[in-house]
Structure 1
Amino acid sequence: MLIHKEISEVTTYDCNHCSYNTKRRSNLTTHMLIHKEISEVTTYQCALCPYKTKRKIHLTDHSLIHKDISEVTTYDCNHCSYNTKRRSNLTTHMLIHKEISEEISEVTTYDCSLCSYKSKHKRGLRRHILIHKDISEVTAYQCAHCSYKAKQKSYLTEHMLIHKDASEVTTYDCKFCSYKAKRKRQFSQALVGP
């Protein structure tokens, strides 16, 4: 990996036509295309429309628009709603779920002695222990719109979302797929998976 090498150990590839340089030969090869005459560059032409490209992979991607949706193989993430036409994209996407679960497993946890609940924060465990107590033993938070009572203020805040118009509710949107959640906890759980 380049990040572990000393600066003097890293080979750089320099362009003969300008000041461009890079640590990767493939980047230089792609860069060199800007210095070639259009007639010198190999282009890939779509057989069904005027689309042209310098990269074969781009033509492969483009050709999918001419196929019926039922003919296109998609690769679906089993942790969220992400899907792609490329297996390599799914493999890269899956890393976000792996990294999140690894981060969670590396954290010190606080375990409930009454059930299997675990928290990475002491305050989370303190709040959780309230569920083992009767509502009469705890200061209850009352909903102003219905008879709902909560042992924790955060639960009441979460409950209040059902009384709001959808346009007033902040949603948590995944930056990698189309998944959305009204509740941060649901969103976090979806990222990590079951």
Structure 2
Amino acid sequence: MDEHYTRVICDICGAGFASDSRLRAHVASHEKGSYPCEECGKHFSKMVSKQLHIEMVHLKVKRNKCKYCDETFRDYYQKEKHALAVHGIKMREYKCGFCPKVFVRGSNLRSHERLCHIRAETFSCEVCDYKTHHKNTLTRHMVCHSDEKKFQCQVCKKSYARARTLKEHMRIHNNDRRYACQYCGRAFVQKCSLKGHLKTHHREHQNGDSQIQE
């Protein structure tokens, strides 16, 4: 269910989970444990947790297999998009019980209902005006108010406050140009670079509703 309905993400290793409680249990495995990952040095309290981490983060195992062909995908959503585009199978729809809105993921529907229709507890930042309905989201936000940068690049020694930021930074060293221009084919490491390229060289194609895919 964590794979199908990812709602919260671990800032340390990037693993996704369906609930806050599952994320908290997972984060605890990074604090203490006798099973270190040989790739990144993270420690886990259980061997199965270490193996799952290696599969998801380092091996990028694709667990979601298409029902209609042999294609495999890392998450349920990409598999459903493939089924629609290649096989003409319509994605399952999740309809809101309070308004006409429809979603393609059950997790998105639940978040919508909780934020828009059901009273939910609000967590407020003590430093700025930021507010959220998720305690773990507030915890991640608080990093921006801290000077601690504990995630260091082993190549250039730059340090970052978030593991996700370091992961994005590593694309520069790996020359990971995943953001390609659909008009000329030029590729970029960062999404913001592609956006700047589109504004500068392909402004005539920009109609305000184009989207850059991950």
Which bin holds the TM-score, normalised by the shorter protein?
0.3 to 0.5
TM-score (norm 1): 0.38
Rg larger for: 1
TM-score (norm 2): 0.35
The structure in which a higher percent of residues are helix is: 1
Higher relative contact order (CA 8 A, sep 6+): 1
